[in-house]
Structure 1
Amino acid sequence: MNRHITLKQFRYFLAVAESDSVAAASRMLSIAQSAITKSVLELEDELGVLLFERSPKGMRLTPEGHRFLVKARRVIGAVADATRDVHPGATPLSGALTIGVTSLVAGYYLSEVFARFRRTCPEVDLKVVEDAPPFLEHLLINGELDIAIMVSNALGEPQALVAETLTRSPNRVWMAADHPLASQAEVGLAECVQHDLVVLQADRIELLMRPVWARHQLKPRTVLRTSSLEAVRSLVGVGAGLAVLPDFLYRPWTLDAEHVEVRTLRDAVPTVDVGLVWRRGSQPRAEVLEFIEVARDQSRSRRPLA
């Protein structure tokens, strides 16, 4: 067939890929499920590959789907760049911009925003500082950073900083494909504590879960605390323990090709929010305001806030 792939197909594909479900994508976009299903099928037909594995548990990206996801995000991002701030004769922004980022967030959010800002503002001297959340907050408050991208709902100095959420990522339970709990669609916290847990010590993610365990009067059995996400993923993949982590960190395969399953938590657990953070009371320069707009556009192209 000689159909042309449309932006609508890209957007519908992204919605399904990010939500793992046609029903969830339908709610997200306020579009009929049948229209989304038809669009995805036509896209697969045009590309000549299966982008999703269908199952009663939802839609899971195939390896080809993962590769196409990267390209689809770039396409939507490029369209947003091309249609923003088109003013004939306008003077390009120049100057300098210093961005702070944590190591964990850098791997999942920085590259696309960085590349888009570079395309939009090639004359701006862009510098990135990577460090732990407490030190980034210190640099922001002292005026040594213009803005940071970090977990924004676990700030140590919230009274001194402004946070704007770009994405809210629900926590789910990670487990090996053959784990006893993998037969369930949902898992409760009380069931989790009956098994060993692998805990990620990075970006204050663990701090968000501590009051949850305490509120439910549960004491997890922790087999390892580590700052390495790959260590968590590998241990979970071989069945050494469960992990409770946000969706933005999830990847279905370990470095050793072990499959990692995820299950929804039955109990209410706070999301992990990633956002922009800057010093309260500061007057952002034009370069900073432009970076904020680019980050907002990138967030909208990835996944709407819940």
Structure 2
Amino acid sequence: MELRHLRYFIAVAEELHFSRAAERLHIEQSPLSRTIKNLETELGVLLLERTSRGARLTWAGEVFLEDARRVLLCLDQAKANAKAAASGYRGKLRIALSDGIARSRLTMLLARCREEEPEVEIRLSEMPFSQQLLGLRNDLYDAGLALADEIEDGILAEPVWHDPLVVTMPARHPLLTHKHVPLQEVMRYPLVLCDPQNCEGCSQQLDKVLRSSNESPVVAERVSTHDLMLTLVAAGYGVGFSTTAHAEVSHHKDVVTRPLADNTFILTTYLLRPDNEPSKQLRNFIRRVNYVSN
């Protein structure tokens, strides 16, 4: 089995279509199909069910996909480790990020890490929350930062950063008459909210806030990034939610922020890590994360 066989399989598994996968890999479809067939023969299992519309993963295929991704990620990490060692680093921390962590917080954290331990490389990876948990469980990451705390056994979640929610609205909007906006007033307007698949933790925490109102929200759009939310708010699609930490660095001339009247509405960021004895580098990193929260 060659590494390219894994890459070919991953492409087909993600596209669920041989023609699109071949186009993505810049190869012809026939050698791609032949490679997958040979891979299935070597493994002795059916990985993909061919259909008239494309392909569908079998259960064996889903399990193999997870392992194939992990193999390639380990290879990428091995290459990065060699380059880091050649550059003079004497240690590394693999940190996974989910839910659009506030840039101001992250900047302060990384700057302090470089100042206090410049010989330790901090390697950041952004991903959905589900992949973050999988990576922490399989020792692909040393720790993670996310807005979700609904975790599995073997993973610890520590609340580290608490940021008050603010309302984002177009530069000319009726809510601007309020210096502190009641949530009930916000619920009168269409909302631009984060997408639960891409920002699972943010969506979970916002849903709890919205459920505290007697009104049902009218969702105009779901977005995967903070910047897109601000763009749609500026264009008049609706109003949105942000935090003071995000608002400090996200300047949009056509968007105004106002605090919510209830100052108990906050978004909490969690530090996630495996439930085992942390390394010296990770203990130092955790200390710096807590320092940034002060």
The answer to whether TM tops 0.5 is yes
Q: Deviations over 1:90-140 (max 9, x none)?
A: xxx943321111261163433332232122222223322221111111111
- Checking the alignment, whether the CA contact within 8 Å between 2:98 and 2:145 is kept in structure 1 is yes
1:146 aligns with 2:128: no
Query: Structure 1 CA distance, aligned partners of 2:119 and 2:249?
Result: 39
1:135 aligns with 2:128: no
The structure-2 alpha-carbon separation of the partners of 1:223 and 1:251, relative to structure 1 and needing over 3 Å to count, comes to farther
Larger radius of gyration: 2
Query: Structure 2 CA distance, aligned partners of 1:266 and 1:209?
Result: 14
- Checking the alignment, whether the CA contact within 8 Å between 1:253 and 1:259 is kept in structure 2 is no
1:222 aligns with 2:219: yes
Counterpart secondary structure, 2:293: helix
Query: Structure 2 CA distance, aligned partners of 1:239 and 1:215?
Result: 25
Partner of 2:185: 191
Query: Structure 2 CA distance, aligned partners of 1:112 and 1:289?
Result: 17
Query: Structure 2 CA distance, aligned partners of 1:177 and 1:103?
Result: 26
Query: Structure 1 CA distance, aligned partners of 2:159 and 2:110?
Result: 18
Deviation at 1:203?
Answer: 4.6
Which residue identity is paired with 2:106?
Answer: L
Q: 2:271 aligns with which of 272, 276, 287?
A: 276
Query: Structure 2 CA distance, aligned partners of 1:198 and 1:240?
Result: 7
Deviation at 1:268?
Answer: 5.3
Deviation at 1:215?
Answer: 4.3
Trace 1:6-25 onto structure 2 (pairs within 5 A).
none
Q: 2:228 aligns with which of 224, 228, 231?
A: 231
Partner of 2:292: 298
Which residue identity is paired with 1:120?
Answer: E
The structure-2 alpha-carbon separation of the partners of 1:156 and 1:194, relative to structure 1 and needing over 3 Å to count, comes to same
Which residue identity is paired with 1:181?
Answer: L
Query: Structure 1 CA distance, aligned partners of 2:279 and 2:241?
Result: 39
Query: Structure 2 CA distance, aligned partners of 1:266 and 1:111?
Result: 28
1:99 aligns with 2:95: yes
Which residue identity is paired with 2:219?
Answer: T
Q: 2:117 aligns with which of 103, 117, 121?
A: 121
Q: 1:160 aligns with which of 154, 169, 186?
A: 154
Which residue identity is paired with 1:197?
Answer: L
Trace 1:29-44 onto structure 2 (pairs within 5 A).
none
Partner of 2:206: 209
Trace 1:170-181 onto structure 2 (pairs within 5 A).
170-181=164-175
Q: 1:250 aligns with which of 224, 236, 247?
A: 247
Q: Deviations over 1:121-160 (max 9, x none)?
A: 2222332222111111111122221111222xx2231543
Deviates more, 1:160-169 or 1:102-111: 102-111
TM-score, with length taken from structure 1: 0.59
- Checking the alignment, whether the CA contact within 8 Å between 1:236 and 1:260 is kept in structure 2 is no
The structure-2 alpha-carbon separation of the partners of 1:299 and 1:222, relative to structure 1 and needing over 3 Å to count, comes to same
Q: Deviations over 1:205-229 (max 9, x none)?
A: 1221223433434211111111121
Which residue identity is paired with 2:206?
Answer: M
CA RMSD of aligned residues (A): 2.5
Unmatched 5+ residue regions in structure 2? Answer: 1-88
- Identity level (%): 22
Which residue identity is paired with 1:190?
Answer: Q
The structure-2 alpha-carbon separation of the partners of 1:129 and 1:238, relative to structure 1 and needing over 3 Å to count, comes to closer
Unmatched 5+ residue regions in structure 1? Answer: 1-92, 301-306
The structure-2 alpha-carbon separation of the partners of 1:185 and 1:150, relative to structure 1 and needing over 3 Å to count, comes to same
Query: Structure 2 CA distance, aligned partners of 1:252 and 1:113?
Result: 15
Query: Aligned residues, how many?
Result: 203
Counterpart secondary structure, 1:239: coil
Partner of 1:265: 261
